[in-house]
Structure 1
Amino acid sequence: MNRETIVKKTQEVFRDIFDEPSLVIYNEMSSNNLASWDSLHHINLLIAIQNEFQIKFDLQEIQRLKNVGAIIDLVWQKQAQ
């Protein structure tokens, strides 16, 4: 899977989780930029991303996920394994 596809699928997950059909994600986007991105949404988001890409994140990986770019990078890395 190429990076562009990962970004598109990740954006779809964000739109579903945050119930914002026109939401556009960007690498620096974080909970500081999206008011509805609280701890519950964060958990649901990570579960949905793992399900979408059929991957698993460990605790250390989750702790490093500070923004959308980090999420996409980790998905890209997991897909390459």
Structure 2
Amino acid sequence: MERQQILDQVTDIFRDVLDNDDITLTDATTARDVEDWDSLNHIQLVVGIEKHFKIRFTAKEIHSWQNVGELVDSVAAKL
């Protein structure tokens, strides 16, 4: 799967979990850039991504992400 496809699918998951169809993610997007992306929703986002891609992240991986690009890189590395 190409990286852009992963980003597009992650964007769809964000839109669904946060109930906001206006969300547009880039590699540089952080939680500060997305309304309602708080610690509780972060967990729901991670679980949604794990279920969608049928992968699992370690706590260390999750804590290491500084932006959406790093999250997408983690997904790509597991596929």
Q: Same fold (TM over 0.5)?
A: yes
AA aligned to 1:45 is: L
Structure 2: give runs of 5+ residues left out of the alignment.
none
Please, which moves more after superposition, 43-52 or 2-11?
Answer: 2-11
1:67 deviates by 1.2
Distance (Å, rounded) in 1 between the aligned partners of 2:9 and 2:32: 22
Q: Deviations over 1:24-62 (max 9, x none)?
A: 111111111123111011000000000010000011111
Aligned residues: 79
1:22 deviates by 2.2
TM-score computed with the length of structure 1 as normaliser: 0.91
Summarize the alignment of residues 8-23 of structure 1 with structure 2, pairs less than 5 Å apart: 8-23=8-23
Distance (Å, rounded) in 2 between the aligned partners of 1:54 and 1:68: 18
- Deviant stretches of 4+, over 3 Å: none
CA RMSD of aligned residues (A): 0.9
Structure 1: give runs of 5+ residues left out of the alignment.
none
Identity %: 33
